[in-house]
Amino acid sequence: MDRRSFLKAGGLVPVAAALPRLASAQQLPFNPRRGEKWRTFEVTSKVEIIKPSGVTRAWVPMPLMPDTDYQKSLGQSWTGNAVSMRVYRDEKYGAGIFFAEWPAGEAAPVAELVTRFATRDRAVNLAVPNPRAERLSASEHAFHTAATDLIPTDGIVRETALQIVKGAKSEVDKARAIYEWTVENTFRDPKTRGCGWGDIKSMLETNYLGGKCGDLNAMFVGLARSVGVAARDLYGIRVAPSAHGYKSLGANSDDISKAQHCRAEFFAQGYGWIPVDPADVRKVILEEPPGNLPPSHERVAAARKRLFGSWEMNWVAFNTGHDVALPNASGGPKLSYLMYPNGETGGERLDPLEPDAFKYTIRWREVGA
C-alpha cells in the first residue's frame, strides 16, 4: 500500500505563471460575512475498476488551487495498490488532478484519495463598488470570454444574448438580465444524465432548454461571454446540509457520490468576481419539498435573490476547466469538464456514470465541528 501524509497541494506540482487567477483574499471585493467562522471538511474518494483488461488508470478532481477568500486547501493523502499515484495540474486552467496507474494483470485496482479543505460562505456587496477590487488584464478578459467546444460565443448564442441584454449598460446589469432570463426560461430536467454536459448551442437551436447544473449554468456563462462579460463555470461537489433549510441544496447523507454540482461566476469592474447559481434556483423549483413549487413561492424568491451575488459554501470547488485533457491518458476525447472521477482500462475510456465498469464512492465529514 502506498501512503502519503497530508501535504499542501500547491507544493506538489509546479505552477505555470500563465494559469488564470482566482480571486484571492486580497483581491476579493467587500464580503459582509468576512468574519464568519471557517468550516473544515474532509472528503474521501475511493475508486475501483470492476473489470480491468490491461493497463488501468484513474483520475480524480481535487479541491481548487490556489486558495481563495472562500476556500482553502488543507492538504491530501492517498492509499492504494497502484504502481504510480501523484497529483497533476492542468496547464490551462490549473485544475488539480489525482492520478493513479495500475499494470496489466492487476485484478482489483483500487485507490483512495482523502482531501481536507476549509470553506466559508461568500457574498459580494453589489450596492457599493470597491476601489480595491481585482481588475482583469486584457489577456485575462480574453481568456474568460473565449469560446469552448460546447460553449460557443457566436451565432445563436450571441444573437440570444443581445436580445436579453438590450438596454443594459454595465456588466452587472447585463449579467443580471442573463441570470433572470436563465431562471425564467430554462428548467431542471431530472432525466438528464449526471449534471449534463453543457451543449448550449444545441439547447438554443432545438429550443429545449432543460438540463441540470452543467447545462443551465453553462448557458449563463456562454451568454455572458458572448456579449463581453467575463464569466466561468466552477465545478465541484456538495458537502453538508444547507444552513438555510433548503433540502434540495445540500448533502443530506455522508455519501456524496452523486452530489456533483456546477456553479458560475461573472466579473464586473469595481466588484471583482461575483458568484451566481441560476441552476440551483431551478433545482429549488423542481425539488424543494413538496416539489414543483411555483416561481412566485417565497422559498423560490428567496433563493433567486440570494443566488445572484452569493454562495453558501456547503460545497467544495474543484476547478474552472473546460475541454480538459487527462494526463497520461492513452486516448479518448478531452472532457467537457472535470467534475467526476474518470478511468480507463485496456486503452478504453470508462463512462464515469456507469457503475458496472467503474465504481467510486465519495464521502464527506466535517472535521472539528
Three cell numbers at 177? 438580465
Three-state SS annotation for 341-362? CEEEECCEECCCCCCCCEEEEE
Q: What does the buried/exposed string (b/e) look like for 170-183 if buried means 16 or more CB atoms within 10 Å of the residue's CB? A: ebbebbbbbbebbb
Name the phi and psi angles at 326, rounded to 5.
-75, 130
Average pLDDT of the chain is 91
Strand order across the beta sheet in which 39-49 lies: 71-80, 110-119, 39-49, 358-367
Residue 22's pLDDT is what? 53
Which is more confident, 353 or 12?
Answer: 353
What ranges make up the beta strands (E) of the chain?
A: 39-49, 56-61, 71-80, 84-89, 96-102, 110-119, 122-123, 187-188, 210-211, 231-238, 260-268, 272-276, 310-311, 315-319, 342-345, 348-349, 358-367
Cα 287 to Cα 290, 293, 297: the distances in Å are: 7, 8, 13
Read off the pLDDT of each residue in 306-335 and give the average, rounded to a whole number. Answer: 96
- Residue 263's contacts (CB-CB under 8 Å, 6 or more residues apart) are 213, 217, 233, 234, 236, 275, 276, 277, 279, 280, 311, 315, 317
With pLDDT > 90 as the criterion, what percentage of the chain qualifies? 85
Cα 349 to Cα 82, 91, 359: the distances in Å are: 18, 22, 14
Residue 48 clears pLDDT 50, i.e. is over it: yes
Residue 18 clears pLDDT 60, i.e. is over it: no
Read off the pLDDT of each residue in 289-315 and give the average, rounded to a whole number. Answer: 97
Q: What does the buried/exposed string (b/e) look like for 78-117 if buried means 16 or more CB atoms within 10 Å of the residue's CB? A: bbbebeebbbbbbebbbbbbbbbbbeeebeebbbbbbbbb
- Residue 205's contacts (CB-CB under 8 Å, 6 or more residues apart) are 156
Read off the pLDDT of each residue in 122-129 and give the average, rounded to a whole number. Answer: 94
Question: pLDDT category, 311, cuts 50, 70, 90?
Answer: very high
CA 152 to chain centre: 19
pLDDT tens, position by position, 195-252: 999 999 999 999 999 999 999 999 999 999 999 999 999 999 999 999 999 999 999 9
pTM higher than 0.85 for the full model?
yes
Q: What are the structural domains of the chain? A: 9-120+320-367 (2.60.40.2250), 135-317 (3.10.620.30)
Residue 252's pLDDT is what? 92
pLDDT tens, position by position, 82-109: 999 999 999 999 999 999 999 999 999 9
With pLDDT > 70 as the criterion, what percentage of the chain qualifies? 90
Name the phi and psi angles at 156, rounded to 5.
-65, -25
Read off the pLDDT of each residue in 266-294 and give the average, rounded to a whole number. Answer: 97
Residue 33's pLDDT is what? 42
Question: pLDDT category, 357, cuts 50, 70, 90?
Answer: confident
Residue 6's pLDDT is what? 38
- Do 219 and 209 touch, CB atoms closer than 8 A? yes
